[in-house]
Structure 1
Amino acid sequence: MADVMTPAQRSALMARIRGVDTKPERVLRSELHRRGLRFFKHVKTLPGRPDIVFPRAMVVVFVDGDFWHGYQFHRWKAKLTPFWQEKIEGNRIRDRRNFRWLRTNGWTVIRIWEHEIKLDVTACADRVCCATKDR
């Protein structure tokens, strides 16, 4: 399927997509804050710049967009151009590398998909709360 936009239009559109403080992140952070949890955002000193960090409990939370991080990528990979296949696969490889580094260095890593937050933010917040209290 050919792209209906010119390369310049597509580039301008994709450049407008936010990398931090996305709506799913804000919704989850709001729920965690409402529960009394305090955290840091986008800590640059940790691999992958986790979206939410609890330093004392050594817990990091990544809120992953379904498209950008390839939720069930094998199911829809063939519909993409080679550029996007490579881009998303690169994101997935980087995510795995960051996950391994964090786990090796004692961090508990929680990955929450965008669609999970849309479906049930309370359950997502429960996962984070349990992880922070267990440590």
Structure 2
Amino acid sequence: MGDSKRSFEVTHRIMSSIKSKNTVPELLLRKALWREGLRYRVNYSKLPGKPDIVFTKYKIAIFCDGDFWHGHNWVIRKMSSLDEELSHYSEFWRNKINRNIQRDAKVNKELSDLGWDVLRFWESDIKEDINSCVKNVKELLETKKVRAGHTDSCSSCRG
């Protein structure tokens, strides 16, 4: 990118245009789960963190985390650590991403304390291998169904 820096106004406009719900990775995962016959709730505001996808009956909360916003960009850019990645950002963005990471951990704990299982998928993993993400969801659902004493033939167990 050289020595040129974007102005605050340009950066602000770009970043504020990024959606927080119904993102491409979220829609990809939702459509893939729907094709598998799985039914869920979306952006469930009754739970901490407002999970992107929720299976209320089985207490499974799913988040589709953006690589940049949730501190995974360093892996994509093949850096040695999150600290290396953040060293290239302004203090504002370092603090924001670190707060997001802390909030994610807090939300995971709150949901776990409430008896919920939490799955978090990176946007890059959803885009690169949606089938693996769907498989993880289906495996957890199946585990929860077995624990609850339901079987595949149970008509109320379709997701």
- TM bin, normalised by shorter chain, reads over 0.9
Aligned counterpart for 1:131 among listed residues 136, 140, 146:
140
Q: What's the C-alpha RMSD, in Å, of the aligned pairs?
A: 1.4
Partner of 2:33: 32
Partner of 2:102: 93
Q: Deviations over 1:105-127 (max 9, x none)?
A: 10000010111111110000000
- CA 1:4 to 1:134, structure 2 compared with 1: closer, same or farther past 3 Å? same
* Structure 2 counterpart of 1:16, one-letter code: S
Q: Distance in 2 between matches of 1:36 and 1:18?
A: 27
* Structure 2 counterpart of 1:100, one-letter code: K
Is the counterpart of residue 22 in structure 1 residue 31 in structure 2? no
Q: Distance in 2 between matches of 1:27 and 1:82?
A: 33
| Secondary structure in structure 2 of the residue aligned to 1:53 | strand
Higher gyration radius (CA): 2
- CA 1:85 to 1:16, structure 2 compared with 1: closer, same or farther past 3 Å? same
* Identity across matched positions, percent: 35
- 1:5 Cα offset (Å): 2.3
Q: Distance in 2 between matches of 1:44 and 1:2?
A: 43
Is the counterpart of residue 64 in structure 1 residue 73 in structure 2? no
Aligned counterpart for 2:87 among listed residues 78, 101, 113:
78
Is the counterpart of residue 102 in structure 1 residue 103 in structure 2? no
Size of the aligned set, in residue pairs, is: 135
Q: Distance in 2 between matches of 1:78 and 1:14?
A: 19
**After the TM superposition, which parts of structure 1 deviate over 6 Å for at least 4 consecutive aligned residues?**
none
| Secondary structure in structure 1 of the residue aligned to 2:48 | coil
Is the counterpart of residue 115 in structure 1 residue 115 in structure 2? no
- Does 1 or 2 have the higher relative contact order (CA < 8 Å, sep 6+)? 1
Q: Which ranges of structure 1 fall in alignment gaps of 5 or more residues? A: none
Q: Distance in 2 between matches of 1:47 and 1:2?
A: 42
Q: Distance in 1 between matches of 2:30 and 2:40?
A: 9
- CA 1:2 to 1:132, structure 2 compared with 1: closer, same or farther past 3 Å? farther
Q: Deviations over 1:69-104 (max 9, x none)?
A: 001523411111111000000001111100000001
Partner of 1:7: 8
Q: Distance in 2 between matches of 1:26 and 1:119?
A: 14
